[in-house]
Amino acid sequence: MSKELEFLSKRVAQSKMSRRDFMGRASALGVSSAAATAMLSTAAMAEGPKKGGMIKLGMNGGASTDTLDPGLVASQATQNALRHWSDTLVNASPTGELDMRIAESIDSSPDAKTWHFNIRQGVEFHNGKTVTAEDAMKTIERHSNEESKSGALGIVKGIESMAVSGNTLSITLDTPNADLPYLLADYHLAIQPNGGMDDPNAGIGTGPFTVEVNEPGIRYGFKKFANHWDESIGHVDESELLIINDATARMAALQSGQVHMVNGVDPKVAGLLDRAPGLSVKNVSGRGHYVFIMHTDTAPFDNKDLRLALKYAINREEMVDKILRGYGGVGNDMPINASYPLFDDSIPQRAYDPEKAAEHYKASGHDGSPIILRVADAAFPGAVDAAQLFQQSAAAAGIPLEIKREPNDGYWSEVWNKQPFCASYWGGRPVQDQMYSTAYLSTADWNDTRFNNAKFDELLGQAKAELDPAKRKALYSQMGNIVRDDGGVICPMFNDFIDAVSDKVAGFEPDPNGEMMANFAPSRVWLA
């Protein structure tokens, strides 16, 4: 049986048999759908990438206000567009290891305070200029400028000085940090000519594709860059990214063949979609989490009792069951879960407790007026339904939650990080330091809860300098408790990343670092 299916899977990979026929044969032989799909994936990888053609993606998270400036990229679609045309010094691999990109090698002083990044030679920007260590240094300088409003501002604040010597960029930190290379894998830190100082919105980088069409909120078009330095990626000649914020329309585009891949599959339809002919659902658990965020410096959310009331008023188990449908797990009002190597699983899990919620609500002295929670489908799959569940569970505690549905277009520029209470999501980061430095350090530009806690900042600094894993874990545990109890994030659930892919696509391997293979899918897949 296995030899027959192995032979047939190879025929599918060679386009000599349809996926539908193969799945039917596998089912007749008693092989599960998951096992048969795995065989197809293995066969496709064994055949090796095919070159040429156009790949088409349908993604949510796009808006007319979007920009190509890497520092301002915030949503799903713009991250994917960025991965088409850019490279960072390093990436984090699906297994959590460093993948060298523009940096060919890295070494550091024994105390992890001074780091040397040796820049790969012969790498060409799309404008014909050769990448230098100076370009890398200027990139970091631009993102560390307060006026840049970069999402990477929090993670580059600890740099004391930088210097270039030949092909080497040397970075000296205020305090040691063993995680610095992972921090510099942040997608915002795309290497640009002169660091993007001249025109950060130009879309000129070193990625496998050049930007040919830039219509924010509508579509992006890309062509293979003939002089790209890495021949192992960039298999298709062209890629088109269509912005389809409506989930139903996005799934319909996949089923009709308008696109080859879509992100943000709603768990409610994932099972049905996976059974559709010619399609498969790809999901992977990781560090992504769906949240409701409160600005801790804005009334009424500047009141700790009110924040705790709302945290106790959410039914996490119900939300995971009804919204995620098994594609994820319960959150604990902090952005860290067991996917992080230094996670402390002894931190008590917060549970739905309407009585405690009512006690804290009374103690807050709130006047009983509606508490407005802003939400849109663009926030995360099932966000509107999740908000309605929150409203119902809060009502049982006597908390008047009012849901205000916002337009998808402009949600990330006009609501998130601006309105005091809204739905949002985070894809997570490879290490705790990066997650905390990006979104919880008081001075971070993407501190979307306006969290300002001197003790937390102090502990974060200590954790950066601590090279002993056990001691570092203890520091992160304290920080997790502070965010959980004092912070403005309500984190009811950690989500799987759920994409759906046509069987015309080969080489798709889910990545726990993010959806769409951490947004590298267009450069790593090929047409079967």
Q: What is the pLDDT of residues 15-39, one digit of tens each?
A: 556 666 777 677 666 776 666 766 6
> What global pTM score does this model have?
0.84
Strands (E), 383-466: 401-405, 421-426
How many secondary structure helices (H) and strands (E) does the chain include?
A: 17, 21
CA distance linking residue 143 with residue 380, whole number of Å = 27
Choose the weakest-confidence range: 5-9, 81-85, 175-179, 207-211: 5-9
Question: 66-108, pLDDT tens digit by residue?
Answer: 999 999 999 999 999 999 999 999 999 998 899 999 999 999 9
How far out from the chain centre does Cα 184 lie?
Answer: 15
The amino acid present at 23, given as its one-letter code, is M
Percentages of the chain per state (helix, strand, coil), in multiples of 5: 35, 20, 45
Query: 427 near 75, Cβ under 8 Å?
Result: no
% of the chain residues with pLDDT over 90? 86
pLDDT at 158 over 80: yes
pLDDT band at residue 11 under the 50/70/90 scheme: low
pLDDT band at residue 146 under the 50/70/90 scheme: confident
What is the per-residue pLDDT for 43? 64
Query: 434 near 278, Cβ under 8 Å?
Result: no
pLDDT at 1 over 70: no
pLDDT at 180 over 70: yes
pLDDT band at residue 335 under the 50/70/90 scheme: very high
Query: 263 near 75, Cβ under 8 Å?
Result: no
Query: 187 near 78, Cβ under 8 Å?
Result: no
Question: 344-367, pLDDT tens digit by residue?
Answer: 999 999 999 999 999 999 999 999
pLDDT at 224 over 60: yes
If you write DSSP's letter for every residue of 88-141 in order, what string do you get? -SEEE-TTS-EEESSEEEEEE-TTSSEEEEEEPTT-B-TTSPBP-HHHHHHHHH
Q: Which residue has the higher pLDDT, 43 or 206?
A: 206
Residue showing tokens 């631009």: 142
